Amino acid sequence: MLKAVLESNVPNYKAIDLIESIQDLKKKLNAVILAHYYQEPDIQDVADYLGDSLGLSQQAQATTADVIVFAGVHFMAETAKILNPGKLVLLPDLEAGCSLAQGCPANEFAQFKATYSDHLVISYINCSAEIKAMSDIICTSSNAVKIVEQIPGDQPIIFAPDRNLGRYVMKMTGRKLRLWDGSCIVHETFSQRKLIELKLEYPQAQVIAHPECEEVILQYASFIGSTSALLKYTQQSPSQSFIVATESGILHQMQKLSPDKQFIPSPPIDNCACNECPYMRLNTLEKIYMAMENKQPEITLAENIRELAYKPIERMLAMS
Ligand code: 13P
Ligand code: SF4
């Protein structure tokens, strides 16, 4: 069992068993911990539910817990709050943002939308509540293609904020989408040259990729999907080795569920840890414990924005 000592800036700090303490707080608060696959392994292991953005939204909608502790990034916890206005939603570090959400400011998006006023707005869930409030339907990487396919062919569509996912959806549906020019700083860092080198080194390995990656990476992929879809693919595929082009946190689950298979992270351009999301990795077990102990930092939302943002999420959940 992991032992950890809380920092001395924590009031009454003492050596405690963090995992045991988090489990105790879960019972005391009637709390549920929802975690994304890009979290540190120890956070994944303490979570009640681990999933992709769609799965996490569905869990947030279904939970009977009084408190939702979100081990993920801000837009995910915000979505949980939009779905559960009466519940306490905790995000262990409020700085856990997302380059896609930050690259789509509400005032600029309002102008973009006004320029194409006859367009339906489909927004990737990786955006702020304000953008959701201006959208007709929300989608995630696991249902974007399915949702666009349900829209009549003559209806023009704005797709925001991820241009790479948008391009992938265009390719899969044959539809022309008006794209917002945003991207994920993690999925844009994979190196085509290093990926080719790895393929030569491991000729049996299958490349699998998240649709937030650029086309130069996606073209090598045997399978493209959301984090949950990638994980499921590695379990079901007869292949014994995989080069994984998404945030490296998911390798923990892949290895756990298929201990005899080999998982190789697709390398970033520089010799950096750029295939780790700097926002996701702000969360720690210590911060989860502190958030539960102090019942903060809490996600709050203006009710008018929440009500507007709820409708396109509800549409997505009905169309998924
Ligand atoms: P999914 O887990 O929904 O595939 O999303 C990946 C991601 O980048 C979340 O921020
Ligand atoms: Fe945002 Fe990319 Fe991090 Fe996901 S991995 S939270 S899309 S910056």
pLDDT of residue 270: 80
In CATH terms, the fold of domain 3-97+279-300 is Rossmann fold (3.40.50)
For the segment 176-235, what is each residue's pLDDT rounded down to a tens digit? 999 999 999 999 999 999 999 999 999 999 999 999 999 999 999 999 999 999 999 999
3-state SS, residue 62: helix
For the segment 267-292, what is each residue's pLDDT rounded down to a tens digit? 998 878 889 999 999 999 999 999 99
pLDDT of residue 212: 98
Q: How far is the CA of 292 from the centre of ligand 1 (A)?
A: 25
- How far is the C-alpha of 214 from the C-alpha of 285, rounded, in Å? 32
The owner of tokens 């008006």 is: 178
Closest ligand 2 atom number to CA of residue 75 = 6
**Cβ contacts of residue 48 below 8 Å, gap of 6+?**
26, 32, 33, 34
Looking at all shown ligands, the one closest to residue 230's CA atom is 1
In this chain, the answer to whether the domains covering 3-97+279-300 and 192-265 adopt an identical fold is yes
Give the CATH class of 100-185+306-319.
alpha beta
- Which residue has the least CA distance to atom 2 on ligand 1? 52
pLDDT along the chain (320 residues), means of 10: 46 72 98 98 97 96 97 98 97 98 98 98 98 98 98 98 98 98 97 96 98 98 98 98 98 98 93 91 98 98 98 96
Token pair belonging to 90: 């905790």
Between 3.40.50.10800, 3.40.50.720, 3.40.50.2000, 3.40.50.2300, what CATH number should domain 192-265 receive? 3.40.50.10800
Token pair belonging to 193: 């040259």
What residue segments make up the domains of the chain, in order of their start?
A: 3-97+279-300, 100-185+306-319, 192-265
- Which residue has the least CA distance to atom 5 on ligand 2? 277
Q: Is 224 exposed, middle or buried (0-12, 13-18, 19+ CB in 10 A)?
A: buried
- How far is the C-alpha of 221 from the C-alpha of 223, rounded, in Å? 5
Asked if residue 69 lies in contact with residue 33, where contact means CB atoms within 8 angstroms, the answer is yes
Using a 6 Å cutoff on CB, does residue 184 contact ligand 2? yes
